[in-house]
Amino acid sequence: MKEFSFSKGNRKISKDVLIWNLPRAITCRGAGECLRFCYEIKIERMYPNVRKSRMRNLKFSKKKEFVKKIVEYLKRRKEKIIRLHESGDLYSQEYLDKWKEIARQLPEKRFFAYTKSFDLDLWTNLPPNFNIIQSYGSKFDNLIDEKKATARVIKDIRERRPFEFICPEQLAKRQGKEIKCMRECKLCLRKNVHVAFLLH
């Protein structure tokens, strides 16, 4: 049995992206209103093996050799972009620091993560190839640093704030077009970007 596993893209994200997932809810220390419409609850109920895989990743992430083995694995992969947590979140400072070290050892790769764990020290020693985007809807929203990257879920495009981008993938879909995250659009790799996603 594998010690850990990455997935490759999905309907929205390019297959050129590796995705690291953890089980939802139990790793989401900052989860707030998002639990009401978490899509991953449905996924894990429909596909029990997905939950098992994510639990295996969680268990492995706590091991001493986590950084070493993930670095070795990613060095062998051709993919240049790694997304953390399509499901799950930064569940502890130790875990976050491990990913900072992984990114530091792999400067040729780009890492990005949405998080609601604002009570952690997100920014100290954060490598330049690791973009963290603060996602509204947590129980720690008062700790959000608006000078850093943020993301919000909105019900209507008219709720967009003047400095926010609407997710280009969602806008294209509304026009009957298709673009892939991290292929045609790399908005979420920009430092200090502010993105709004339409609730669907």
Which two tokens mark 171?
Answer: 């806008």
Q: If the chain, 200 residues long, is cut into consecutive pieces of 10 residues, what is the mean pLDDT of each piece?
A: 88 89 90 64 66 94 98 97 95 98 98 96 98 95 96 93 94 89 92 91
For residues 179 and 183, what is the distance between their CA atoms, to the nearest angstrom?
A: 8
DSSP state letter for 174? H
Q: Examine residue 45 and state whether it is found in any structural domain, yes or no.
A: yes
For residues 98 and 19, what is the distance between their CA atoms, to the nearest angstrom?
A: 16
73-90 residue pLDDT tens: 999 999 999 999 999 999
Confidence (pLDDT) at 90: 97
The total number of structural domains that make up the chain = 1
Confidence (pLDDT) at 191: 92
Q: What is the domain range of residue 129?
A: 7-143
Q: Examine residue 1 and state whether it is found in any structural domain, yes or no.
A: no
Q: Examine residue 132 and state whether it is found in any structural domain, yes or no.
A: yes
Q: Examine residue 168 and state whether it is found in any structural domain, yes or no.
A: no
Please tell me whether the overall predicted TM-score, pTM, comes out greater than 0.85 for this model.
Answer: yes
Residues in the chain: 200
DSSP state letter for 87? S
159-195 residue pLDDT tens: 999 999 999 999 998 899 988 899 889 999 999 999 9
Q: Examine residue 139 and state whether it is found in any structural domain, yes or no.
A: yes
Q: Examine residue 37 and state whether it is found in any structural domain, yes or no.
A: yes
Q: Examine residue 125 and state whether it is found in any structural domain, yes or no.
A: yes
Which two tokens mark 151?
Answer: 């993301």
Q: Examine residue 164 and state whether it is found in any structural domain, yes or no.
A: no
Confidence (pLDDT) at 42: 59
Confidence (pLDDT) at 15: 87
- Strand order, beta sheet including 150-154: 7-8, 17-20, 81-84, 110-115, 130-135, 150-154, 194-198, 165-166
